[in-house]
Structure 1
Amino acid sequence: MTPAPTRLAGMSPRVSGWTLAGVAFGVAVLLLLACYWSTVMSLLWVWEHDGTYQYAFLIPPLSLWIAFELRHEVRALPPTPSAWGVLAVAGLVFVWYVGHLLDINLPQHFALVALFPALVLACWGWRALWVLAFPLGYLVVFAVPWGDGLVGPLQDITAHFAVRALDLTGTPVLLNGREITTPAAVWMVADACSGVKFFIACGALGCLYAYLMFQRWRKRVVFVALAAVVPIIANGLRVYFTILIGDTWGLHYATGLDHLIFGWQFFGTVLVLLLLGGWFFRDRPVRRERQPASTLAPARARLAVWPVVLVLLVAGPVIASQLSSAVPVPQLHVVAPTVPGWSGPLAATDGWRPAFTGAAGEAKAAYRADGNGELVDLFHAVYTGKPRRGHTLITFENRLYDPAQSHVLSSAGRTVEMVDGRSVTAGELRLSDGADARLVWHWYCVGSRCTRSATLTKLLQAWDVLRGKSSPSSVWALSTTVGHGGAEQARARLRAFIGALPVNESVDLPGTRDAGVAGGRP
């Protein structure tokens, strides 16, 4: 025989079992919301102000509704608090702490939302977590704003799809990155045309629909896959039809209000057809027998999990508040370097406008080649100490170009040789800059380590902060117009400029010996 879970001595059945576990979980949730209120408000702000994630306001109530429907299955067996939940809470609090330390919203938002399933595991146990797997997973996947990295790839897919469709239907077309040229006009597949809003919202609706309408996992997987693929195809068709309408009946039918109305009608029709197709293959709902709730309390040893979890929840914000004392940002006088073989530094041109707020110092200048008079613009911004709010190298507000004036045609990586023989992989952005195209090469440096990846830059900063170091960080960016010589000639121009850019021997960073600072260090 298997011994039944022990009751707590002197505890009546009315306050034992799930009543006690529910109180513990409720206290933990209230403590979570209170201690991480700034992160809650930050998450709500993203939902409200970013049109991509406005659907997320529906995710918590939907998850709560599904969890409420599963309450009888959860309560059928006694709660068994798990020590693995303590480890999960500790790990997520650490993730939040690092995100707070580096002023990165995504890990803070993820940790906040993921703490709910971690608390279920810690307070109620593995079986409750398994029963509530869908509503908790649904909450974590679709309440966290994670889709910004999909914009660029979806733009590329949409542009190639539309061009291929136009070519198959006999419309003369030329693709230049994300710029589509037809006899009627030049069309730009901008960020808003990527379809990321419809993609994520359709994915959220598709997962919910598959869970409610299908009982077999194979059907659910197929429908979720369709909910991911159909929006991509639909967005490509929308762009194709928009261009076709503009070329056939006039641009005024394909732009402005008509464009918006057509887009919403098209997406609405696709969504209705997708849901209608799934309706014909739905499974009969399985009626779950209501099982009596267990009144048994967890074993005494497992009750120690609850206070430990509460202490961990409080520890993260308390430590963060003690270490988040305001540190004044030193103002550095950054001077653009002198580059052999190039005249300058000259007054910067107005055609390229990078913006990095909160920098300790920055320099922007233009240089003219001594041989042929070709121009290259340089931008350098320096940040000191560890990242903190208002003084962060990698953040949403910092941009390598003005999105109101330019659009990204394509992006790539280019390996360049420094004057000291070092190789650095620079990121390349090809911009549509009004009537002309422009190349921008950039890289970030943390101490003496340079990379074009913003993510790797954040990881390097995190590693330094966790080791108690505060390496200076900086961004280097070069820009030149493509002109009649084409992109290859522009790239050769940038390579020649980088090959002559001075190197600071003390920290092995480019261009700081004449600037008077070393990658952000005075």
Structure 2
Amino acid sequence: MFVSRVLDANAGISTRTSGWALAAAAFGVAVVVLLVCYWQTVQSLVWVWDHDGTYQYGFLIFPLSVWVAFGLRQRVRTHPPAPSVWGLAAVAALVFVWYVGRLLDVNLAQHFALVALFPALVLACCGWSALRVLAFPLGYLVVFAVPWGDGLVGPLQDITAHFAVRALELTGTPVLLDGREILTPSAVWMVADACSGVKFFIACIALGCLYAYLMYQRWWKQAVFVVLAAVTPVIANGFRVYFTILIGETWGLKYATGTDHLIFGWQFFGAVLVLLLLAGWFFRDPPVAREHPHENGNMPATPRMVVWPVVFALLIVGPAVAAGLSSPAPAEEMPVTAPAVAGWSGPQAAADNWRPTFNGAAGQVKGVYRSDAGSEVVELFHAVYTGNPRRGHTLITYGNRLYDPAQAQILSTASRQVNLTGDRSLRAGELRLSGAAGPRLVWYWYCVDQRCTSSQMLTKLLQAWDVLRGHLLQSAVWAVSSPIGEGGVDQARANLRAFTQMLPATASADPQIGREYVPSGNEP
């Protein structure tokens, strides 16, 4: 319970001994060096907190972690500081992770390394005993200060859609689920990204972890409450969508959309959160006053103190090496033309119904093809990136999308086996979109030199491997799309399958044909 933490904070002797004074000073200097040398990463992390509504709670994580750690300071000082070589190794590993993230322009890797360096510095400067005592605030910092929840949006959308449909069926409302669209007699409801409840989900887990730590002494109570804090927002969001649709079906759409819809959502989530905390309050553990041994501020052994300057040096090495790299030259623009496809006429100028966005590409093209044997239409998009990934010129990065979210929403995702010419095959991703221009099916894959995949993570790993080997990198995205007409999804899939079977070998990054995309001169 919170009271017990306060008692922990006030217990013991307040006199700071020389050993801990030196350890605290070393940790403070290391934090200052970290913030100064990695200031661009700090700014990037704060920018994400500020501009992405999902992670605005991140502004509270550092102050809360410092507050909890400050309450544990007397327990930390009951053991003498013992700088650890293992902490030194952790700092070196995280600096390397940051460097690779900087080299590949992967913000998540840089953000994780920055935040994870704080517990690594505690271990390096103060030792294992301090790390064990501060395990919760440091772990809390690493888990919740890093923006990691984007991958949860799709699964939460699917869970919410299925939950709401099942609830509507049980209460007698005629309903049909089509991917993430819910069809009722009055309207078609889309469980969009904003309806996934990811904001409430992550924030509720973060609050639940802190609440469980402060209120419970028994580990099983803490675990139960954290699980409850994770399950409750998912169920609550399902009910929220269910009630929204039910209100629209019963009293009219004007009461279920617009401002009233937003107000109802926040009021509902607020009420659920209050009920969750009240339920946890009744099962709280009584405060326990812990008695701690006297402080042990003996000086660490002299060889161990060598760890401190080495830590400072390691923190400086990563940014220094990154800054020492020659600034990459602007990407050379490349004329990329859409290929000729046997059995299909085109390419022709594409309409604006489907808008893939890949900024900073060295070259890109978009065209429309029509089947010679019928009226089937397929659109192709292809973008090429050359050289190492760098800010503003990265294949997989925030803002690069296979569709315009202002025009369309994802109904469902899948994976398909795609056969190309020359008996080549690859695994492509599939998006089924719904929007103002009508439903659409998209197949896509990414290629790094001669290796193709639909996984963004694997694409990043392939790029990292080539960069670390010093290999001249070439990466690309291919996407083909067909509108879903009267023939339905199966007909659209058949159109894409017939088109890709005639697609030239460039789509699988054939090394012989792919060389035409390499510009003359040396790439950075």
- Superposed pair shares fold, TM > 0.5: yes
Partner of 2:503: 501
Letter in 1 for 2:381: F
Deviation at 1:326, TM superposition (A): 2.7
Deviation at 1:215, TM superposition (A): 0.2
**Structure 1 residues 295-316: Cα deviation after superposition (integer angstroms, max 9, x where no partner):** 3100111111111111100000
- 1:320 matched to 2:322? The reply is yes
User: Pick from 401, 426, 430: which aligns with 1:428?
Assistant: 430
Partner of 2:205: 203
User: Pick from 461, 464, 484: which aligns with 1:462?
Assistant: 464
CA distance in structure 2 between the partners assigned to 1:173 and 1:434 by the alignment: 22
Deviation at 1:342, TM superposition (A): 0.3
CA distance in structure 1 between the partners assigned to 2:213 and 2:455 by the alignment: 38
Local SS of the residue matching 2:406: coil
Does the 8 Å contact 2:332/2:519 carry over to 1? no
Local SS of the residue matching 1:100: helix
Deviation at 1:93, TM superposition (A): 0.4
Partner of 1:372: 374
148 and 505 in structure 1: CA distance in 2 versus 1, 3 angstrom threshold? closer
Structure 1: segments with no counterpart, 5+ residues: 1-12
Deviation at 1:62, TM superposition (A): 0.6
443 and 326 in structure 1: CA distance in 2 versus 1, 3 angstrom threshold? same
Does the 8 Å contact 1:445/1:519 carry over to 2? no
Deviation at 1:196, TM superposition (A): 0.2
Does the 8 Å contact 1:507/1:518 carry over to 2? no
**Structure 1 residues 374-418: Cα deviation after superposition (integer angstroms, max 9, x where no partner):** 110000000001100110000111110000010000001000111
Give the 5 Å matches for 1:166-177: 166-177=168-179
CA distance in structure 2 between the partners assigned to 1:396 and 1:307 by the alignment: 37
Partner of 1:127: 129
Does the 8 Å contact 1:503/1:509 carry over to 2? no
**Structure 1 residues 209-246: Cα deviation after superposition (integer angstroms, max 9, x where no partner):** 00000000000000000000000000000000000000
Local SS of the residue matching 2:479: strand
CA distance in structure 1 between the partners assigned to 2:143 and 2:428 by the alignment: 32
User: Pick from 207, 210, 225: which aligns with 2:227?
Assistant: 225
Does the 8 Å contact 1:84/1:122 carry over to 2? yes
User: Pick from 43, 46, 56: which aligns with 1:44?
Assistant: 46
14 and 110 in structure 1: CA distance in 2 versus 1, 3 angstrom threshold? closer
Deviation at 1:420, TM superposition (A): 1.1
Local SS of the residue matching 1:440: strand
CA distance in structure 1 between the partners assigned to 2:342 and 2:514 by the alignment: 14
CA distance in structure 2 between the partners assigned to 1:477 and 1:256 by the alignment: 35
Partner of 1:157: 159
Q: TM-score w.r.t. structure 2 length?
A: 0.94
42 and 173 in structure 1: CA distance in 2 versus 1, 3 angstrom threshold? same
341 and 403 in structure 1: CA distance in 2 versus 1, 3 angstrom threshold? same
Does the 8 Å contact 1:354/1:399 carry over to 2? yes
CA distance in structure 2 between the partners assigned to 1:186 and 1:512 by the alignment: 45
Letter in 1 for 2:177: L
CA distance in structure 1 between the partners assigned to 2:520 and 2:157 by the alignment: 35
Local SS of the residue matching 1:426: strand
Give the 5 Å matches for 1:80-159: 80-159=82-161
Letter in 1 for 2:373: G
310 and 496 in structure 1: CA distance in 2 versus 1, 3 angstrom threshold? same
**Structure 1 residues 157-194: Cα deviation after superposition (integer angstroms, max 9, x where no partner):** 00000001001110000101000000110000000000
Local SS of the residue matching 1:424: strand
Partner of 1:55: 57
Deviation at 1:423, TM superposition (A): 1.2
Deviation at 1:349, TM superposition (A): 1.8
Deviation at 1:127, TM superposition (A): 0.7
Deviation at 1:504, TM superposition (A): 4.4
Structure 2: segments with no counterpart, 5+ residues: 1-14
**Structure 1 residues 116-168: Cα deviation after superposition (integer angstroms, max 9, x where no partner):** 00000000001100000000000111100000000000000000000010011
**Structure 1 residues 87-112: Cα deviation after superposition (integer angstroms, max 9, x where no partner):** 10001000100100000100100000
468 and 262 in structure 1: CA distance in 2 versus 1, 3 angstrom threshold? same
Deviation at 1:72, TM superposition (A): 0.4
200 and 505 in structure 1: CA distance in 2 versus 1, 3 angstrom threshold? closer
Q: TM-score w.r.t. structure 1 length?
A: 0.95
Partner of 1:281: 283
Deviation at 1:325, TM superposition (A): 1.1
Does the 8 Å contact 1:443/1:477 carry over to 2? yes
CA distance in structure 2 between the partners assigned to 1:252 and 1:520 by the alignment: 60
Partner of 1:259: 261
CA distance in structure 2 between the partners assigned to 1:286 and 1:223 by the alignment: 20
Local SS of the residue matching 2:306: helix
Does the 8 Å contact 1:429/1:439 carry over to 2? yes
Give the 5 Å matches for 1:261-410: 261-410=263-412
Partner of 1:215: 217
192 and 334 in structure 1: CA distance in 2 versus 1, 3 angstrom threshold? same
519 and 423 in structure 1: CA distance in 2 versus 1, 3 angstrom threshold? farther
Does the 8 Å contact 1:418/1:510 carry over to 2? no
Letter in 2 for 1:345: P
Local SS of the residue matching 2:422: coil
Partner of 1:8: none
CA distance in structure 1 between the partners assigned to 2:310 and 2:509 by the alignment: 45
14 and 113 in structure 1: CA distance in 2 versus 1, 3 angstrom threshold? closer
CA distance in structure 1 between the partners assigned to 2:150 and 2:458 by the alignment: 17
Does the 8 Å contact 2:366/2:380 carry over to 1? yes
CA distance in structure 1 between the partners assigned to 2:513 and 2:188 by the alignment: 39
Letter in 2 for 1:197: K
Deviation at 1:289, TM superposition (A): 2.3
CA distance in structure 2 between the partners assigned to 1:497 and 1:17 by the alignment: 72
Does the 8 Å contact 1:159/1:178 carry over to 2? yes
Partner of 1:4: none
Letter in 1 for 2:105: D
Deviation at 1:290, TM superposition (A): 4.8
Partner of 1:491: 493
Partner of 1:72: 74
Identity of paired residues, percent? 70
CA distance in structure 2 between the partners assigned to 1:439 and 1:519 by the alignment: 33
Does the 8 Å contact 2:451/2:508 carry over to 1? no
Does the 8 Å contact 1:474/1:519 carry over to 2? no
Deviation at 1:322, TM superposition (A): 1.0
Does the 8 Å contact 1:337/1:512 carry over to 2? no
Letter in 2 for 1:119: L
Deviation at 1:285, TM superposition (A): 1.4
- State the number of aligned residues: 508
Letter in 1 for 2:89: L
Does the 8 Å contact 1:382/1:519 carry over to 2? no
Does the 8 Å contact 1:206/1:223 carry over to 2? yes
